[in-house]
Amino acid sequence: MAEIFGEIKKIAYEGPGSRNPLSFKHYDPERVVAGKSMREHLPFAMAWWHNLCYCGQDMFGSITMDKSFGAQPGIMTHAYSKVDAGFEFMQKLGIDYFCFHDTDLIPEACDINETNARLDELSDYIIKKMQETGIRCLWGTANMFSSPRYLSGAGSSNSADVFAFAAAQVKKALDLTVKLGGRGYVFWGGREGYETLLNTDVKFEQENVAYLMKMAVAYGRKIGFSGDFYIEPKPKEPMKHQYDFDAATSIGFLKQHGLEKDFKLNIESNHATLAGHTFQHELHIASMNGMLGSVDANSGDLLLGWDTDEFPKNVYDATMCMYEILKAGGLSGGLNFDAKNRRASYTHEDMFQAYILGMDTFALGLIKAVALIEDGRIDEFVKERYASFSTGIGAKIRRKETTLEKLADYASEMKSLELPGSGRQEYLESVVNSILFG
């Protein structure tokens, strides 16, 4: 079969000194760090939607990128050519996983039965490609935000028929995820939220969203899905208020509705900053609750207030991300590049360049995070910072052996109360800089 990206050869590791734009400078898949190969530490995934479907359109202008991949006009021929392009792309970059929405694979038909038939047909072809290449599915999801029927949400819609249609879409997307052996299934609640309380019953809507998730778990387990379900928190955009605002809110929601055993979180960098948090904060909150499942590894632009989905280039952020992932013992999911080329970067080579940038950024982040952990000064400082809880009254507090009365007696006998030890933030920041930049 003729190649689609014929002008681009397999991308090889050439080391930091290389000036070849089509080479990895830091991602060396077989290099072992902290006991595992980089490839195992970094289960990279291609996002079908941005890589194979997004053509550069924005609110002010039409498409700039040609993603026809040589297809003749026709619905299924283009769907097939995207599969060919995607697998060639992943193979050339050495990417082991992909993620998809149902509607990324094929365009929806007017009749859901026809849509499902298209999905069945195309997924047979995807399986064939997976068998030939060893590439796997990281997670699947249903697009429940683009179609006009979801203008007021899917699980949170005011229309019971729309709710039922969303359920049918989730059922099919779960069938596909299981068929493709996906590790996870994502709920990104794009339109599960509201614009104004003048027309919205929040409690009612949240109960319905939770019920849709419960039915998804019941069905998924019935058809043999043993992976994790994920919520991908995001505070806003497209809605003003989204129900899965951030990690803490989503964990509270999952616990409130008894979903915490089946769900983890898919943390997206750009969503974290939109919620007013750092990426590391969101990863940390998920991790300390045992709910860090997977990562959407893009990045935002702090000067812009929306989800710009840029390829990650910030080594500091990637380091702190990998620091959290290493401390969590790795990911059961992976690192999905939910990122798109800038509108003016419209060539096939730009597509490769973007993934090289993202993969190298995370490889560097991994190397630096391992160095930070091995250096030990941060861990040591944090441990020392809480040392007053290791003995005496502190140890009793930690063992929950005190009462307010006992602590009041203790306080009344204090001769003086010293300031807590210095936080030494600047020192710690300089430790990080010295590890990052030598």
Binding site for ligand XLS (CB under 6 A): 101, 141, 186, 188, 232, 234, 268, 296, 307, 338
Nearest to ligand XLS of 172, 234 (CB atom):
234
Nearest approach, Cβ of 286 to Ni ion (angstroms)? 14
Task: Give the span between the Cα atoms of 295 and 283, in whole angstroms.
Answer: 9
Provide the token pair at 436: 């990052």
Nearest approach, Cβ of 285 to Ni ion (angstroms)? 17
- How far are the Cα atoms of 158, 189, 290 from residue 153, in angstroms, in the given order? 8, 8, 29
203 burial type by CB count under 10 A (0-12 exposed, 13-18 middle, 19+ buried): exposed
The listed partner (Ni ion, ligand XLS, none) that binds 281, CB under 5 to 8 Å by sort, is: none
Q: Is 244 in the site for Ni ion (CB under 5 A)?
A: no
- Residues between 8 and 47 with contacts to Ni ion, criterion CB under 5 A: none
Nearest approach, Cβ of 237 to ligand XLS (angstroms)? 7
Task: Give the span between the Cα atoms of 132 and 39, in whole angstroms.
Answer: 19
The listed partner (ligand XLS, Ni ion, none) that binds 118, CB under 5 to 8 Å by sort, is: none
Provide the token pair at 133: 């290449």
x/- mask, Ni ion, residues 300-339, rule CB under 5 A, reads -------x------------------------------x-
Residue nearest ligand XLS, Cβ-based: 188
Among 102, 175, 268, 324, binds Ni ion (CB under 5 A): 268
Nearest to ligand XLS of 141, 299 (CB atom):
141
Q: Which of 96, 104, 175, 262 is catalytic?
A: 104
Nearest to Ni ion of 71, 357 (CB atom):
357
Phi, psi of 179 (to 5 degrees): -60, -40
The listed partner (Ni ion, ligand XLS, none) that binds 141, CB under 5 to 8 Å by sort, is: ligand XLS
Secondary structure class of 365 (helix, strand, coil)? helix
Secondary structure class of 185 (helix, strand, coil)? strand
Q: Is 104 in the site for Ni ion (CB under 5 A)?
A: no
10 burial type by CB count under 10 A (0-12 exposed, 13-18 middle, 19+ buried): exposed
Secondary structure element (H or E) that encloses residue 186, with its range: strand 184-187
Task: Give the span between the Cα atoms of 64 and 58, in whole angstroms.
Answer: 10
Task: Give the span between the Cα atoms of 79 and 125, in whole angstroms.
Answer: 10
Nearest approach, Cβ of 223 to Ni ion (angstroms)? 25
Nearest approach, Cβ of 215 to ligand XLS (angstroms)? 19
The listed partner (Ni ion, ligand XLS, none) that binds 192, CB under 5 to 8 Å by sort, is: none
Nearest approach, Cβ of 268 to ligand XLS (angstroms)? 5
Phi, psi of 295 (to 5 degrees): -135, 135
- Residues between 338 and 357 with contacts to Ni ion, criterion CB under 5 A: 338
What letter represents residue 407's amino acid?
L
Task: Give the span between the Cα atoms of 425 and 73, in whole angstroms.
Answer: 59
Q: Is 101 a catalytic residue?
A: yes
Nearest to ligand XLS of 101, 281 (CB atom):
101
The answer to whether the beta carbons of residues 296 and 338 sit under 8 Å apart is yes
Nearest to ligand XLS of 33, 272 (CB atom):
272
Query: CA 294, 298, 300, 305 torsion: positive or negative?
Result: negative
Provide the token pair at 306: 């929306």
Q: Which of 41, 50, 78, 101 is catalytic?
A: 101
- Chain residues binding Ni ion by CB under 5 A are 268, 296, 307, 338
By annotation, the residues acting in catalysis are: 101, 104
